[in-house]
Amino acid sequence: MRVILQRIKRGSVSNLKETRTINQGYYLLVGFNKEDDISKLDYMIDKIINLRVFSDETGNLNLSILDVKGSILSISQFTLYADTNKGRRPSFDKVLGANLANDLYQEFNKRLIQKVPLEQGFFGEYMKIEVENDGPVTIILES
């Protein structure tokens, strides 16, 4: 499981029917490979919610998303496991199949929303995403 986490001031995701928006918090790109299963979710959730990347009153990165009462915009992103070592077209051989990936993604969000307010993208659909970075602060997490 791979997550790209960005600290943001604001973010939104839209499809043809609906827009979902958050304010201060995280923008997550979430990807699964063929070796991933449900056992990795709780580790990743704990890492995300307790990561201290928000500034305290002295400007140091000492606060978590829980401390600042932030929200999360979670977007499924299978291309995080693109292999570009050969040729010019990415290979997606390591990516978990869509049905299993969607199951893990939905379970990940279900568990995460119990800890932090969350909006999620539209699995398998074309999306328009707008993000206002805060920093920028970008962290790559892997389980």
pLDDT band per the 50, 70, 90 thresholds, residue 1: very high
The whole-model pTM stands at: 0.95
Per-residue model confidence (pLDDT) at position 46:
98
Of 134, 141, 26, 32, residue with least CA distance to 78: 32
What CATH code is carried by the domain that includes residue 6? 3.50.80.10
- Amino acid identity of residue 131, one-letter, is V
Mean pLDDT within 36-59: 97
Question: How many domains does one find in the chain?
Answer: 1
Terminal Cα distance for the chain, rounded: 5
In tens, the pLDDT along 56-103 reads 999 999 999 999 999 999 999 999 999 999 999 999 999 999 999 999
Per-residue model confidence (pLDDT) at position 23:
97
Q: Are 112 and 48 in contact (CB under 8 A)?
A: yes
Domain containing residue 97: 2-142
The catalytic residues are: 77-79
- Amino acid identity of residue 55, one-letter, is S
d(CA 118, CA 70): 9
Per-residue model confidence (pLDDT) at position 58:
96
